[in-house]
Amino acid sequence: MCLIEITHDVCDIAQRIKEVDENYFIVFNRLLGRFELHDRSCRDSFACELPYDQLDARSIEHARMTRIERLESIIRELDRYNEKIMKGGAKA
């Protein structure tokens, strides 16, 4: 099996991730060599890749920042950033 559910880890991230959403769980994808966040309430449980080599507090923050409830806020942030680029105020 290429997906290994993480139930225990040094920083208790596997348990603390449930503070963000009780249906969340973390797996290690052996095929791709990465940690992934999954959601038990969805048919296709994959929620996102955790962009870190180890589980730590950044993983929880990433889970919070990528929640669907933040979609409008994320779009506004992207629009502001793209506007800066168009005006030459930021580098791509």
pLDDT single digits (tens) 5-61: 999 999 999 999 999 999 999 999 999 999 999 999 988 999 999 999 999 999 999
Query: How deeply is 43 buried, as exposed, middle or buried, from its count of CB atoms within 10 A (0-12, 13-18, 19+)?
Result: exposed
State pTM to two decimals: 0.75
